[in-house]
Each structure stands twice: as structure tokens, then as C-alpha cells.
Amino acid sequence: MKTALITGITGQDGAYLAELLLEQDYKVYGTYRRTASTNFWRICDLGIQNNPNLHLCEYDLTDLGSSIRLLEETQPEEVYNLAAQSFVGVSFDQPHTTAQITGIGPLNLLEAIRIVNPKIRFYQASTSEMFGKVQKIPQQESTPFYPRSPYGVAKLYAHWMTINYRESYDIFGSSGILFNHESPLRGLEFVTRKITDGIAKIKLGKLDCLELGNMDAKRDWGFAKDYVKGMHLMLQADEPDTFVLATNRTETVRDFVSMSCKAAKIDIEWRGKNEDEIAVDIATGKTILRVNPKFYRPAEVDLLIGNPQKAKDILGWEPEMDLEQLCAIMVEADLRRNENNRSF
């Protein structure tokens, strides 16, 4: 039986990855932070919370000493570092905290691996946010980086440290440059889930109008469950490396709203431009969406579209779910959740 350690098991990817590894008969240690209201709703949703091979451990990524003790106590063969302050918007308000968690945190784990057992295989959750300002599309492993947020800068540091530890100490450190991936387990602050939850509430008469920021941003959105398979494959490969996981399709935030309305059977019409843009429910004449500049970011990543060819060639990885399907399952899940008055 293989042993894996997942940091950030209370997050979207941590929950799906734990499910995948348990299905493959791994012993899984999952870390969570001690807070006044730790929430395990995602692993409960997946029904894995009582799996005898799942062990939950309290851990904070910013603490080097506990990173060392964690590896000594759990003795994993594979470490998946998914923990991060992962919300780009918040990173502008809390750049220092973001740097400590998202940048220095992975360094703590790399140091712990170097000290405790350099044979541990390490996955670092890198991001398309590192590409940032558009230089060349589609973005791939060789595309130059130009991060546009404190989050992107912190992730870029961790990405290069992973490569540096690979080259300096022969540590099996792989970096997955993952483009946006979503699911019914996505945090409510991220735009896709904010949209599907908002549209579900509007459909059920629980919300009048949804407010969003930049409607023109384009993202390459995939399904989180497909992407955690890629993380696992990276640590089964012969060599540590850097891989892009993406769908190679890009759509605007506006397109995602239109798709969600279609899934919820609400016919809408777009009116106005920029800050005055609205979406009107054709059946009722009511404005169901407006732009609020408070959701704009100080610097924006305008366009992301990734080329996952290397992952396909070397790992045999390909995304399975298309965006229409993904949007439909998210809307459906949020309709059910809101009907039952569940909060997440």
C-alpha cells in the first residue's frame, strides 16, 4: 500500500485527489488548518470522511518545524502540495500573507523532504496565473512568465524552488502548471461557482441580481476531477518535470454566464457595455446581472488558453469533460443545494 500526503484536503482539489488515491488503495494523510470553524464539507460531499485509509492531520504550511515533523510522522512516498492562499483577488489585499503561505510554504515542504527523506516524490500546484500578461498563446511549458498578482508572483517563486531542488538535490519535484479547473466543490468566491450559485438562487427566487467584475476576462476552464488525475500521473512518471494541464479552449466570463443561464433555462439578453453592462431576463424583464467595479482587480490576466500536448504525449493525460457539461453539472448541483438550503 502506497502512502500519500495531501496538503489542503479541505480545498476543492485536495478532496478530489483524496478520493482518487483512496480508490487506488493508497493510505492518505490529508492536512487541514486548525481554525475555529474547520469545515470538511467537501470530503463529506464525496462520502470519504470515514474511509479507514484516510487520516486527517492538523498542519500549517508556514511552519517549517511542523513540516519536518509531519513527514517524520506520516512517512509518505508522495507529497501533493495543494495548500495555498489561492484566491487571486485577496492576494492584492494580503500580499504578505500570500507570500508566506503560497511562496514560502512550499519551500518549507521542500526543505522538510531534503532533511527527512529526499526520496519522497513532490508535486507542486503551480498555476497559469504565472503566465499572466499575454505574450504568446496558447501558453505552454516554454512560454515566458509575467505574473500579474501577488498570488502569481508567490506561485512563480515556489515553481522555481521546486525546479531548483530537483536540480540541486536530485529531489523528484514536479510542477503542474494547471489552468483554471472548476466543479460543484469550487469555492463560492471564484467566478464560475459565484455564477452558478447566483443563477441557481435567481432561478429559485432567492436572489434578484448577481454582481460581477470584469466580464471580458478569458479563461481556459476544465473539470477539477480530470485535473487531479494529471497530478497523480506526474508523480508516477519516470522523471520529475513540469507539465501544463489545460483544455485548449478559452471563453469569457460573459460566455460562462450565458452558458449557466441556458443550463438553468433562463433566457437572457445582454445590454450596455463595460461598467453599464447588464443581463435581462427576457421572460420577466428584470435585470438579473450587473457589473460592479468593486470586483475589478488592480491588474488583470486578460487571456489564458493552455496547450496540454506535453502532458498528453508523456503522461497520456487528456481532459474528459467539456465546458458545457461542466457548467451544467455545477448549475444542477447549486440548484439542489439551494433548494435544500445548504450553505456551501
Angle at 164 between CA 160 and CA 165, to 5 degrees: 120
Between β-strands 54-58 and 222-223, what pairing exists: parallel, antiparallel or unpaired? unpaired
Minimum CB separation from ligand NDP for residue 84, in Å? 3
Nearer Cβ to ligand NDP (82/107): 82
Using CB under 6 A, pick the residue from 33, 46, 64, 89 that binds ligand GDR: 89
Q: In what order do the strands lie in the sheet with 268-271?
A: 210-212, 287-291, 278-281, 268-271
Q: Is 16 a catalytic residue?
A: no
Out of 19, 78, 129, 182, pick the active-site residue.
129
Dihedral in degrees, nearest 10, Cα atoms 212, 215, 217, 223: 70
Q: Is 196 a catalytic residue?
A: no
Question: Reduced to 3 states, what is the DSSP secondary structure of residue 326?
Answer: helix
Segment contacting ligand NDP by CB under 6 A, of 70-78, 180-188, 198-206, 280-288? 180-188
Site string for ligand NDP, 119-158 (x = CB under 6 A): ------x-x-------------------------------
Nearer Cβ to ligand GDR (5/125): 125
Tell me the three cell numbers of residue 156.
512563480
Segment contacting ligand GDR by CB under 6 A, of 62-70, 168-176, 187-195, 310-318? 187-195
Q: Is 127 a catalytic residue?
A: yes
Q: Looking at this protein, which amino acid is placed at residue 153? A: V
The answer to whether 271 touches 215, Cβ cutoff 8 Å, is no
Nearer Cβ to ligand GDR (191/263): 191
Question: Reduced to 3 states, what is the DSSP secondary structure of residue 260?
Answer: helix
- Sequence-ordered list of residues with C-beta below 8 angstroms from that of 243, at least 6 positions apart, any chain: 141, 174, 175, 176, 177, 230, 234, 308, 310, 311, 314, 315, 317
Using CB under 6 A, pick the residue from 27, 159, 166, 181 that binds ligand NDP: 181
* Residue with nearest beta carbon to ligand GDR: 217
Nearer Cβ to ligand NDP (99/279): 99
Minimum CB separation from ligand GDR for residue 192, in Å? 6
The answer to whether 60 touches 47, Cβ cutoff 8 Å, is no
Other beta carbons less than 10 A from residue 290's beta carbon: 15
Q: Give residues 68-87 in contact with ligand NDP (rule: CB under 6 A).
A: 82-86
Work out what residue 295 binds among ligand NDP, ligand GDR, none; the CB cut-off runs from 5 to 8 Å by kind: ligand GDR
Q: Using CA atoms, how far apart are residues 150 and 127, in angstroms rounded to an integer?
A: 13
Minimum CB separation from ligand GDR for residue 179, in Å? 6
Site string for ligand GDR, 188-217 (x = CB under 6 A): -xxx--x-----------------xxx--x
Size of the site for ligand GDR (CB under 6 A): 22
161 lies in the binding site for ligand NDP (CB under 6 A)? no
- Helix 253-263 with 323-339: angle, nearest 10 deg: 60
The answer to whether 79 touches 26, Cβ cutoff 8 Å, is no
Residue ranges in contact with ligand NDP by CB under 6 A = 7-8, 10-14, 33, 35, 59-62, 82-86, 101, 125, 127, 178, 180-181, 187
By annotation, the residues acting in catalysis are 127, 129, 151
